[in-house]
Each structure stands twice: as structure tokens, then as C-alpha cells.
A and B are shown apart, each in its own frame.
Chain A
Amino acid sequence: MFKVEDLKYRYPKGEADVINGISFEINEGEIFGFLGPSGAGKSTTQKILIKILGDYRGEISYSGKNITEFSDEFYESIGVSFEMPIHFSKMTAMENINFFLKLYKNNANVEELMKRVNLWEDRDKMVGEYSKGMKIRLNIVRAMLNNPEMLFMDEPTNGLDPMNAMILKDMIREFRANGGTVFITSHIMTDIDQLCDRVAFIVEGEIVEMDTPRNLKIKYGKRSMFMEYKENGKTVGIEFPLDGIGKNKEFLDLLQTKEIETLHSGETTLEDIFIQVTGVALKNGE
């Protein structure tokens, strides 16, 4: 759906490129995660893809056509959910929504969307009276107003409570199930792990790793099995190599004879992979 080839970008007053020749594809119907530390180039890349920033070098095509050749119809087919609230605070949620709705040819069922994110009851409240979480949920409704084919989501669950984060993740999955494509940036690795079909890690304007979360976990994980069992009232831990574990006599003996407390494979988490490939530990808001 999106094909990015050798993308380079330098800010007008910048001395060096902030995007250094990245290439990737986002396939139709996939959720693609774009991860990286602050200043790595995530937002810049997203702003180039949604045509806010121009003057880049390289090729970007959308549905087989260079994005520079698109005019209005490009924005008819995409939806963008920003990280920060982007509403007129002295207008009600519905006044905001109705204003944007009229700018598109395709209109989604607003009542359905608002009910889905639990905002229907508060639709006539001023957005200025909304909590941060409510504003973020309204961002999602705003992004989906035009029934887009592709969604760009910047930190979509940031500021949401677990319940609403779950609702949002379900909406993203349903969007994908209905044929939609999603480009998502987030620092919440559990969200990325749960949602994304593929992820790319960007560091200093370069993609340093790109694959499915599963393949990355296999690649960066330790091929081992860690067991904890009870012996003489104490907990004992022991690690076994994963290769040939079915024939490992010591492992099988312990399984049969001891009271096993925990059994873990050496599979790593996306957060560990993030730290490993970017060299930066995750912090809140990063």
C-alpha cells in the first residue's frame, strides 16, 4: 500500500539529514509499527508520509502512485490520529465532529463511533471540559470520520486507561480485519506487540531492524528454558538449552520428580529488543 524507497530528509535550516535513506513497505491490511527513541525520525517520517512535510529525497508511493501526484483524494482515503488533542476546546464534541465531517466526501457513522469510544453521552459537552483521555478518544473518532483506507496513529493509547486502551486496540484490529491498513508509532511495547504484524526500529534516521514481532523475539531471544523448582523448602533455578530439550535427561527428570514452580522459555520482549537495537531505555512519554 505504501512503498518508501531511499527516503532522506533534512529540515530547511538543518545541517544534516534527519532521515538517512530509509526503505520499507507497508502492505495492504497490515498493522505496521514504527518504533524508535525520541528524535530518531518517527514523527518526521510520519509527517512525510501524510504529506505535511515536502522537499524530501527518495520515492514514496501510495497504492502504486507517487504521493506527490495525489491531491485531495489522498486525504479522503487516510485518517490521522495525533498524539496531542487537536480540537476546538470552546466547541462541543459534536460541533467539532460535524465541522470536520463536512470536509469529506465519505462520512462514517458518527453515532456508532462515538458510542464505541464511550463519548456519545458527552457529545454535547465542550471539549475544553473533557479529560485528556476523552480528548484522545475524540482524536480517534476524528481520524475515522471519513471511513479511511489507511490510518496513521501516533501514540494512540497514550493517556488512555486500560479499559479504553483495550477498546481502542479492538477498534484497530477490526479496522484491519475490514481491510484497513495501519501505521502506528508508540512507545508502549505491549500495545505494539499485541497489535502489529510487523515492526521497524528507527535510530538516528536509519532503520536498524524490521520484521514481525515473533521473528524478532526468536532472533533476539535466548534459546533456553529456565526452570524453578522446590527442593528442601528452597527455590532452585536452573537453565537448559532449548535445542534437544525433549531428550535432555536432567530436564525430564526434574519435570517428573520435582515440584515445578515456574518454567520460562528465553523468549525476549519487544521492550528488551527496543533497548538492544536502539541502545535507549524506554521512559514514559518517550
Chain B
Amino acid sequence: MVNRLWVLVKGELQRLNKYNMTSVSVLVAIIWGIVLFFVNGEWLGYLLPLVLMMDATLMAIMYVGSVMFFEKSESTISTMLVTPVSNKELVLSKLIANTVHNMFASALIIIVFVFIRDLSINYFLMFVAIFIATAFHTLLGIVMAYFQKDFTSMLVNIMIFMFTLGVPSIFYSVGIISGDVWEFVLLFNPIQSAQILIEGGFKGWGFEYDYKYFFSLGYLTIGGILLYYFYALPKFQAYAVKQSGV
């Protein structure tokens, strides 16, 4: 299984590159780099975690959605279904490849800023934060792809996701909304969880890990595992069969 999974992951990464997703992610990293270069120190503290959060959440959903859209338009899922690979391997390969790919994009943004600005980053915690946030949202992107009819519907779904979950999280981060109620409600927002984990990566080992940090860590980790075992994997066959023209 490991060998086949490795072949599938390599194939997914190769396709992400061939279908220009890698170029897009590099371009996005450069654009963010340019934007953040001109932001002053105080705002950088707000914006850099936001940018990394957007990359690990919305972009992760969009990349995997695009890859699955291409699969649909080229009917390649049909031929994957008649190979010895299992659905578990197919879903896992998408999850691993897209997470690795997205982490590469996030790493680019971080590298740019480490060289340009004097940033204090706990690399281990940042790695954990981006890994967990990206993996969860990639999985969410896979599940959302099950419902997308075409490229437009994928973009519409991402916009809905952005406005219902992304905007409140951003508003809370910059202080537009505040208070205990929002703090509690947003604990169940995966984007907010990603934001909290990423902010943790900018603090040293000495920072106080409050309950929100651990809740977010558990929420995305356990939520991701549950999403994988109870929805993404069991529903994959029905999705793939539907794409193959039945």
C-alpha cells in the first residue's frame, strides 16, 4: 500500500505542477510578499498570520477543488477506479499531496519574511499549525468537491465559505467584532481555529497556551479525523461513480 500511495502522491504533485497550481501558489506567495513588504511593523503582526491563515484554509480548499474539477472534466477518475488502488489510497493521496503542496506555498511566504523582516517564529509550532490547518481544510475541500457541479459552483461554494466563516474570523482578529459571545461562537469556526494555531506559531515557547489554543488543536485534529473516516472516505465511491458517468 505504501508504494502505491507514494506513486499516487507523486502523481498528484506532478499534476498540481502540470495544471499550473504550483505556479499559481508561487505567484500568490509573491503577491502577498510584495503587499506585506510595504506594511508597517504593527500591521504586519496582524496581517502575516491572516495571510498564512488564508493560505492554509481558503487556498487549500481552492487547490484541491480545482484538481478535482480537472479530474471530473477529463473523466480520469473512471480509470482510477479500475486500478488496484483503494478508495482510501485515492483520498489519502489527495490529502497528502495537497497538504504538502500548500505547505510549500506557506513556507515560501514565511521564508520571504524571515529574510526581509525580523520575525520571531517558532518553526515547530508554525509547522504543526499550518500542517493541521491545511490538512483539515484540504479534506474540507475534498468534501466540498463532492457537491460541486462545475468550476463556477466551486467558486460560489468557496465564496460562501469565505463570507460565513472567513469574514467573522478576520473581523474578530482585527477587533471589528469582539466579546465573549463571539469568542465562544468562533471557537467552532475552523478558520478561527487555524488562525489561533498560526498565531501560536509566532509566539515563543514561553507564551501562555490558553484553552483556545488546545481546543483549536483538538478541534481541527479530531474534526479532521472524523471528517475523513465518517464522510470523505465513505462518500468517495459514490462521488467517483457519479463522475464516471452513472
Contact = CB atoms under 8 A, between A and B. Distances in A.
Interface in A74-89: 74-76, 78, 80, 82, 84-89
A90 interface: yes
A260 B131 CA distance: 85
Interface SS of B by simple majority: helix
A271 interface: no
Interface stretch (B7-15, B175-183, B209-217): B7-15
Interface SS of A by simple majority: loop
B84 A50 contact: no
A53 B18 CA distance: 31
Nearest to B244: A52
A125 to B, nearest CB: 14
A88 B72 CA distance: 11
Given A85-B75, A86-B79, A53 B84 contact: no
B85 A103 contact: yes
B82 interface: yes
B76 interface: yes
A275 B40 CA distance: 78
B229 interface: no
Given A53-B246, A80-B79, A142-B79, A91 B18 contact: yes
Interface in A51-107: 52-54, 72-76, 78, 80, 82, 84-91, 95, 99-100, 102-105
Interface string B205-246: 000000000000000000000000000000001100100111
B81 interface: yes
B82 A99 contact: no
Residue among B4, B14, B79, B81 with max Cβ neighbours from chain A (10 Å): B79
B129 to A, nearest CB: 33
B241 A52 contact: yes
B83 A103 contact: yes
Interface residues of A, number: 33
B80 to A, nearest CB: 9
B84 A99 contact: no
Contact of A88 (B18, B84, B238, B246): B18
B4 A52 contact: no
B150 interface: no
A103 B19 CA distance: 22
B19 A86 contact: no
A286 to B, nearest CB: 16
A88 B78 contact: no
The bracket for how many chain B residues form the interface is: 20 to 34
A23 interface: no
Contacts of A47: 241, 244, 246
B76 A88 contact: yes
A99 B83 contact: no
Given A53-B241, A82-B79, A87-B74, A103 B84 contact: yes
A50 B82 contact: yes
B7 A103 contact: yes
A86 B74 contact: yes
Nearest to B85: A103
A265 interface: no
A99 B83 CA distance: 11
Interface string B160-191: 00000000000000000000000000000000
A259 to B, nearest CB: 56
A2 to B, nearest CB: 15
Interface string A131-146: 0000000000010000
Given A47-B246, A52-B246, A100-B79, 17 more contacts: A12-B238, A52-B81, A54-B237, A75-B83, A76-B84, A78-B82, A80-B79, A82-B79, A84-B75, A88-B70, A90-B15, A90-B18, A90-B19, A95-B14, A99-B11, A99-B14, A103-B85
11 contacts: A11-B246, A52-B82, A72-B86, A75-B82, A75-B83, A75-B84, A86-B78, A87-B76, A103-B8, A103-B84, A103-B85
Interface of A: 11-12, 43-44, 47, 50, 52-54, 72-76, 78, 80, 82, 84-91, 95, 99-100, 102-105, 142
CB-based closest 3 A-B pairs? A72-B84, A86-B79, A80-B82
Interface of B: 4, 7-8, 11, 14-15, 18-19, 70, 74-76, 78-79, 81-86, 237-238, 241, 244-246
